[in-house]
């Protein structure tokens, strides 16, 4: 007899199942929308709505009950400060399940479990989406290319100047060595002539 044993087991023991529900409900409160299987979404939906009802109550006992289940003070603070005030005039029905078809790997039926408040969900989605990279990447690339060209243009005269200095430096010792060679040949010729005369 299965009297008063409602709810799905999801192939988990009770502690694992409680932790799963806590994590999914916390993620829903934090992000406004989560993607999960239909079975998990149906199991978590009443729990998440119960947490929002605690947030609507707003007293200390409700906050302690929410903390005991969600196990995260940050999520509880967001629940009581941001999410619950959105539903202050709504008597239940804070979430919806939107089916999105089978999953690629195992064909499990997937769904979005999301809060009914579209503005909050859209705001959370905008916070999570990064800025477009393509437009931002084009401008710095042009600047880098311009800077590289400018650097090459600045280095080119310096390189030419260094090359001219090197050639001048090499030419001068050659001239000096040539002068020394003339002197040595003069000395050598004179000494050689003297040797021949002697």
- Residue spans of the domains in the chain: they are 14-129, 131-198
CATH architecture of 14-129: Alpha-Beta Complex (3.90)
| pLDDT at residue 193, rounded to an integer | 47
- 143 pLDDT higher than 60: no
Which secondary-structure segment (H or E) carries 118? helix 118-128
Asked whether 114 and 124 are in contact (CB, 8 A), the reply is no
Question: Is pTM, for the whole model, over 0.75?
Answer: no
- 183 pLDDT higher than 80: no
Query: How far apart are alpha carbons 17 and 53 in whole angstroms?
Result: 22
Asked whether 66 and 51 are in contact (CB, 8 A), the reply is yes
Give ∠ CA 135-138-143 in degrees, rounded to 5.
Answer: 135
- 77 pLDDT higher than 90: yes
Q: List, as one string, the DSSP characters of 18-61.
A: HHHHHHHHHHHHHHSEEEEEHHHHHHHHHHHHHHHHHHHH-SHH
Query: How far apart are alpha carbons 197 and 191 in whole angstroms?
Result: 10
Which secondary-structure segment (H or E) carries 137? helix 133-197
């Amino acid at each position: 007899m299965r009297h008063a044993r409602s709810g799905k087991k999801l192939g988990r023991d009770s502690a694992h199942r409680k932790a799963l529900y806590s994590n999914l409900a916390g993620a829903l409160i934090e992000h406004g929308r989560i993607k999960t299987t239909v079975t998990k979404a149906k199991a978590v939906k009443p729990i998440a709505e119960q947490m929002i009802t605690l947030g609507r109550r707003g007293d200390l006992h409700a906050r302690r009950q929410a903390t005991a289940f969600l196990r995260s003070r940050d999520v509880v603070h967001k629940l009581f400060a941001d999410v619950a005030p959105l539903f202050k005039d709504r008597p239940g029905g804070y979430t919806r399940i939107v089916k999105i078809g089978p999953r690629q790997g195992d064909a499990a039926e997937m769904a979005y479990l999301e809060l009914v408040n579209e503005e909050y969900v859209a705001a959370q989605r905008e916070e999570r989406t990064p800025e477009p990279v393509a437009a931002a990447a084009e401008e710095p690339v042009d600047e880098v290319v311009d800077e590289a060209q400018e650097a090459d243009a600045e280095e080119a005269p310096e390189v030419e100047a260094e090359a001219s200095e090197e050639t001048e430096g090499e030419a001068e010792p050659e001239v000096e060595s040539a002068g020394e060679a003339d002197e040595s040949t003069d000395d050598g010729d004179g000494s050689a002539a003297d040797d021949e005369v002697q």
